[in-house]
Copies of this chain bind each other. A is one copy, B any other.
């Protein structure tokens, strides 16, 4: 199995995907590509949220022509999404995009593919082949039937790859997305057994922000947990900033990347004597903009509290109207009532200094 350490490195602008490089979070803008101002504004918002690669669509020539201007104004690699029209791809490449997402089998004949491949080679930019459960090739589907969808996806990917490999083009990233988690996972597994191209992971059409976040976390998370996946995109119907935030949270859950503070909080039960949920939410909000490898535990009781808090850099463990503050398992302060939160935040500040992240203290937000 070509797990993420064993995939081949593929360069996208200033980033390298695959070969054990960090799993990158990407997203796609929702604006019209021809509206350069709105598109750049949304990309800047996404960069701010932690988006590392951005994709825009070019459904017409005017959009393709706008890409150069967009590229100039942004800081992260720009990927163009093209369906069927090789001329838009050629224009996008001319405009300086960092990657082209196009399925070579769908752009009509060898000459056209060759032209696109030559343009990519000249500029050293990769192609992403995007196989999608939602638009499978009818002849392959007929071969395996609807219970063999993962195999259909693999064969479809293989077909596109072969076209590029014949032209000695190996600068390839592949995605095998579907809206069904189990089938999608199986498709990625089959792929990783056969090819070492880096994989772009996603669950398509996952749903609205709430249900789509959970479905994406289950799907993308369980694929990543197997060691498969070099970049991810969360496809939920909502603000793309949410897609980026969910993407990071998935990577953080698996400790594949670190971003911001990790909050460990207990779900409370009949043993809880303080308003733990309120404290946890406040602490999370206050530390939202802090970017340091810090784990903070907010625990309700003595049964699991000190144990979990000993794993965390700093923890609070509630008792009756009072709380003990732990660092790496040792009590450093006992506090009560309204003083709990300010004392805890103060100890968090000290911990940031100890860890060499003094500059992050200014990012602690005011008590809300």
Interface check A363, CB cutoff 8 A: no
When distances are taken between beta carbons in the complex, the residues of chain B under 8 Å from A253 are 181, 214-215, 218-219
Give the residue name and chain of the B residue nearest to A225 (CB). B222
When distances are taken between beta carbons in the complex, the residues of chain B under 8 Å from A238 are 267, 277
Interface centre among A32, A182, A217 (most CB of B within 10 A): A217
Which residues between 279 and 317 of chain A lie within 8 Å of chain B, taking CB atoms? Answer: 280-281, 284, 297-299, 303-305, 307-308, 311
Interface check A28, CB cutoff 8 A: yes
**How far is B215's CA from A246's CA once the two chains are assembled, in angstroms?**
10
When distances are taken between beta carbons in the complex, the residues of chain B under 8 Å from A268 are 30, 237
- CB A136 to nearest CB in B, in angstroms, measures 7
When distances are taken between beta carbons in the complex, the residues of chain B under 8 Å from A269 are 28-30, 56-57, 81
**How far is B235's CA from A214's CA once the two chains are assembled, in angstroms?**
14
When distances are taken between beta carbons in the complex, the residues of chain B under 8 Å from A135 are 303-304, 307
Q: Mark A182-201, 1 if CB is under 8 A from B, else 0.
A: 10010000000000000000
Q: Of B31, B39, B59, B307, which is within 8 A of A132 by CB?
A: B307
Q: Are B270 and A56 in contact (CB under 8 A)?
A: yes
Interface size class of A (residues with CB under 8 A): 35 or more
In the complex, identify which listed stretch (A119-127, A155-163, A202-210, A330-338) lies at the interface while the others stay far away.
A202-210
Interface check A26, CB cutoff 8 A: no
When distances are taken between beta carbons in the complex, the residues of chain B under 8 Å from A109 are none
Interface check A358, CB cutoff 8 A: no
Which residues between 23 and 72 of chain A lie within 8 Å of chain B, taking CB atoms? Answer: 28-33, 39, 56-57, 59, 63
Q: Are A57 and B134 in contact (CB under 8 A)?
A: no
**Count of chain copies:** 2
When distances are taken between beta carbons in the complex, the residues of chain B under 8 Å from A28 are 267, 269
Give the residue name and chain of the B residue nearest to A247 (CB). B214
In the complex, identify which listed stretch (A3-11, A110-118, A258-266, A348-356) lies at the interface while the others stay far away.
A258-266
Interface check A18, CB cutoff 8 A: no
- CB A39 to nearest CB in B, in angstroms, measures 8
**Given the known A-B contacts A134-B304, A218-B254, are A249 and B204 also in contact in the complex, defined by CB atoms under 8 Å?**
no
When distances are taken between beta carbons in the complex, the residues of chain B under 8 Å from A173 are none
Interface check A255, CB cutoff 8 A: yes
**How far is B242's CA from A281's CA once the two chains are assembled, in angstroms?**
15
Interface check A170, CB cutoff 8 A: no
Q: Mark A125-139, 1 if CB is under 8 A from B, else 0.
A: 000000011111000
- CB A290 to nearest CB in B, in angstroms, measures 14
Interface check A229, CB cutoff 8 A: no
Q: Are B265 and A205 in contact (CB under 8 A)?
A: yes
**Given the known A-B contacts A135-B303, A218-B221, A297-B205, are A181 and B254 also in contact in the complex, defined by CB atoms under 8 Å?**
yes
CB-defined A-B contacts under 8 Å, sample of 13: A39-B270, A179-B311, A181-B254, A205-B297, A207-B264, A207-B284, A208-B277, A215-B217, A215-B249, A217-B217, A219-B221, A221-B221, A237-B277
A214-B250, A237-B265 provided; 12 other pairs, C-beta below 8 A? A136-B307, A181-B253, A205-B297, A205-B308, A207-B284, A208-B284, A211-B284, A213-B214, A217-B218, A218-B221, A218-B225, A237-B268
